[in-house]
Amino acid sequence: MFTLNRLEHNPILSPIKEHPWEAHSSFNGCPVVEDGKIHLVYRAMSEPDHLRDPHISTSVIGIAESTDGINFENRRQFFGPSEDYDKFGCEDPRITKIDDTYYIFYTALSNYPFAADNIKVAVALSDDLDTIKEKHLVTPFNAKAMTLFPERVNGKIAGLVTINTDKWPADICYVEFDEVEDLWNEDKWKKWMSDVDRHKINLRRKDSDQVEMGTPPLKTDKGWLVIYSHIQDYATQNPVFGVEAVLLDLENPRRIIGRTKGPFMVPNTYYEKTGHISNIVFPTGAIVQEGRLKIYYGGADTHCAVASVYLDNLLSLMTDSLLEHKFKRFPGNPIISPRDGMAWEAGGTINPAVINLNDETHIVYRAASSGNVSVFGYAYSKDGLKIDERPNAPIYGPRADFEKRADSLNNNYGCEDPRLIQIGDIIYMTYTAYNGVTPRVAVSSITVEDFLARKWNAWSMPNVITPPNIPIKDAVIFPEKIDGKYMIIHRVDNSICADFVETLDFTREKITKCIEVLNPEPGMWDGIKIGVAGPPLKTKEGWLLLYHGISKNKTYRVGAVLLDLKNPTVVKSRTAAPIFEPEEAYEVNGLVPKVVFPCSLVLRGERAYIYYGAGDSVTGVATIKLEDLLSKLRI
C-alpha cells in the first residue's frame, strides 16, 4: 500500500504564448540530474502555422533547468525537425546518460497525414545539453517511446521500446546490442524483429488494452523499476489512461519480477482532465530523491506535472516483501458464520459494527434470512478474535415503516450494515434502513449501561435522517464535535459526502447536504463506487478513515484516507492502491464473490482491527500495526 502525492505546485510547465515554439503545449517531460540541477527535456508544440501547408502544429524538443524540481527556468528549444525522418515533428523525449553522452530518444514524424509507417524512433546525441552533435533514425518500423538502461546489462547496450504503437495492439519490448552504433543499424533491427516475440514484455491485461513505454528504467536493489502507460479499453470511445509500474529482473530484463495490480494514477485534476486532449496522464520520466520516486508526466497533452510516492512502499507492494506491513487475517476466520437452525441468519452473517468497551469487543452484525430480511445479531469477544458469546436471537430488527417492506416486488428489506460510535455515555448506531425501494440512513441509540447489560429492548426508536427519495447509505458519526458541530459522513450515489448537525437529537436533526469528500477514480480499483467503511479513528496524523471501493470487475476492496483534523472534509492523503482485498476462499467465493466489506476499525494496543463481511456470507477479522498503516498515508 502507498500514497501518491501530486506536487502542490503542478503543473510545473505550461505553454508560454511568448515562446512561439511552445505556445500550444509543453508536456511529457523527462528529467536527468547533473551538477545538482534537474534538466528536463520535454515535448513542445507551436500553434498551427498558417503559412505552412498543411496548417498543423509542429512538435520540437524543449529543455529547462531547475534546482528544486518545482521552478524551471532557462526554457529554450533544444532541437527540432532537421532531417527527412523528423521533418513533421519531434515528440516525447526520453533522456539517458551513458558514459559522457546524453542519448535523447524521441518519436520522429516523417510525413503527413500521420500514419504508422511514418512514425518511428530517432535519437539525438549531446555532450553538454546545449548542442546536438548528431541525430540518427533508429527503428526502421513503427515504434515510439524508446529509452536506454542507464548502464550496460550483461555487457550489452540495453533498452526498452514500444513497437506497433500505431498498429494496435502495441508491445513493450526489450532490446540489446553490442555497441551504441548498433542502435541505428537497420540490419541489426531487422534481425531483432525476426525474433521479436522473444523480446516482448507482456503487460496488457486484456486484448482491448494498450501499453506504451514510460520512464527510463531505474535501478533498485529489487530490480529495474519502470513506470509505463496502460490504457484500458483503448479502442473504445472512453479509454482510461492509467499509470502502472513493473519490476524487471536485473540480469534478465525480459523477466517480470512484480508489477502493480492496476493503475495507481488516473486523470483526476483539472490539468489532467482538461487540455488539448482531455483525460490523459502519461508518464515519461522519473528520478529518486530523499527516498521518494518522483514521476514526471504529461497532463491532458498540455502540461508537465510531477507526482511522487515513497519508493520502498511501491516496491514492497509489487514484491510483497514486507509482509509485516500488511493486514494479517485471523487464522480462525471466519469468526461469525450462519448457524444451523437459525433461520434469521441463514442468508449470511456479514458487515459488522464493532465497539470496544472496557477492553472487550462487542460486535453487531447484519444477519439475513433466507427471505432476505435483514436484522442485527450480536457477538462478544474478550480478545477481539475468538467469539465467546453469541445469542440465538436477533438483538435488533425492523420496527419503523421506512425499514419494512413497501409496496414493491422486491422482497429485500430490513436493517443493514450497522456502524457504532460512543459519544459520552450513549452508543449511537447508524445503519441502512431499507423498505425494498429506497435505502436511507437511520439512527438508534442505547446507553452504555444498557448495552453492557444486554438490554436490547432499550434501543431507542429509530429516526430516519435522509430524504425519502434519494438512496443514501454507509453513514458514520464523528466521535467529537468539529468546530462546534457534529459531522456525519455518508454515501450519495457513488461518492462519499459530509454534512454537519447542531445536536445529536435525531428527531429533528437531518442530513440535508452533500459536501463532497471523496469520489471514485474511474479506471482504478475504486473506480465504480466507494463508501465509508466505519467510524474514523483520531490520530496525530489526522482522522484515519477506511473506505470500500468497487472496481469495474465488481471486486470490493478497502482503501484508506487521512482527513484533516480541523476540517475533515479535506483529504490530506489517500492510498493509491488497496490496503486489503479478497484473497481467501471465504472472501473470493460466497453469495457475492470477491467481497471484503468492513464496517468498523477499532484499536487494541498498537494494532488496528478491521471486522468485515466476506463474500456477503460470513464475517472475518484482520489486524495491522497502526503505525504501519499510518506510514503508508504520509506524504
pLDDT tens for residues 232-269?
A: 998 888 899 999 999 999 999 999 999 999 999 999 99
pLDDT of residue 321: 53
pLDDT of residue 99: 92
**Mean pLDDT throughout 165-187?**
94
- The position carrying cell 492510498 is 575
Distance CA 392, CA 143 (A): 67
Percentage of the chain beyond pLDDT 90 is 89
> Same fold for the domain at 5-321 and the one at 328-631?
yes
Strands 373-381 and 413-423: parallel
Global confidence as pTM: 0.92
Between 633 and 173, name the one with better pLDDT: 173
* Whether residue 380 has pLDDT greater than 80: yes
The DSSP 8-state label assigned to residue 300 in this structure reads T
Name the region of 163 (left: φ>0; alpha: ψ -120 to 50; beta: rest).
beta
The fold of 328-631 is Tachylectin-2; Chain A (2.115.10)
Q: Which residues contact 544 (CB under 8 A, 6 or more apart)?
A: 536, 537, 538, 560, 561, 562, 601, 629, 630, 633
Among 53-62, 224-233, 439-448, whose mean pLDDT is lowest? 53-62
Query: 39-53, 156-170, 309-323 — which one is most confidently predicted on average?
Result: 156-170
* Whether residue 410 has pLDDT greater than 70: no
* Whether residue 55 has pLDDT greater than 80: no
Omega before 334 within 30 of 0, i.e. cis:
yes
**Mean pLDDT throughout 568-586?**
95
Report the b/e string of 308-339 with b at 16+ CB within 10 A.
Answer: bbbbbbbbbbbeeeeeebbbebbeebbbbbbe
Q: Which amino acid is at 281?
A: V
* Whether residue 526 has pLDDT greater than 70: yes
Would you place residue 2 in the very low, low, confident or very high pLDDT band (cuts 50, 70, 90)?
confident
The domain spans of the chain are 5-321, 328-631
Between 114 and 64, name the one with better pLDDT: 64
Percentage of the chain beyond pLDDT 70 is 97
Task: Tally the residues of the chain.
Answer: 635
- Digit-coded pLDDT (tens) for 109-133: 999 999 999 999 999 999 999 999 9
Q: Which amino acid is at 169?
A: P
**Three-point CA angle 365, 371, 377, nearest 5°:** 20
Q: Where are the alpha helices (DSSP H) in 138-234?
A: 186-193
The DSSP 8-state label assigned to residue 208 in this structure reads T
Neighbours of 475 (CB within 10 A): 25
Q: Which amino acid is at 332?
A: G
pLDDT of residue 49: 75
Question: Helix/strand/coil (H, E, C) string of 354-386?
Answer: EEEECCEEEEEEEEECCCCEEEEEEEEECCCCC
* Whether residue 322 has pLDDT greater than 60: no
pLDDT of residue 391: 98
- Contact present, 485 and 526 (Cβ < 8 Å): no
pLDDT of residue 272: 98
* Whether residue 323 has pLDDT greater than 70: no
- Digit-coded pLDDT (tens) for 601-621: 999 999 999 999 999 999 999
Distance CA 530, CA 23 (A): 40
Q: Which amino acid is at 184?
A: W
Would you place residue 326 in the very low, low, confident or very high pLDDT band (cuts 50, 70, 90)?
confident
pLDDT of residue 409: 55
| Distances from the Cα of 599 to the Cα of 41, 281, 417, 596, angstroms | 48, 33, 7, 10
**Mean pLDDT of the residues in the chain:** 95
Distance CA 125, CA 129 (A): 9
Residues forming beta bridges with residue 476, ordered by sequence position: 489
- Contact present, 408 and 427 (Cβ < 8 Å): no
Q: Does domain 5-321 have CATH number 2.115.10.20?
A: yes
pLDDT of residue 408: 54
**Mean pLDDT throughout 2-16?**
95
* Whether residue 324 has pLDDT greater than 70: no
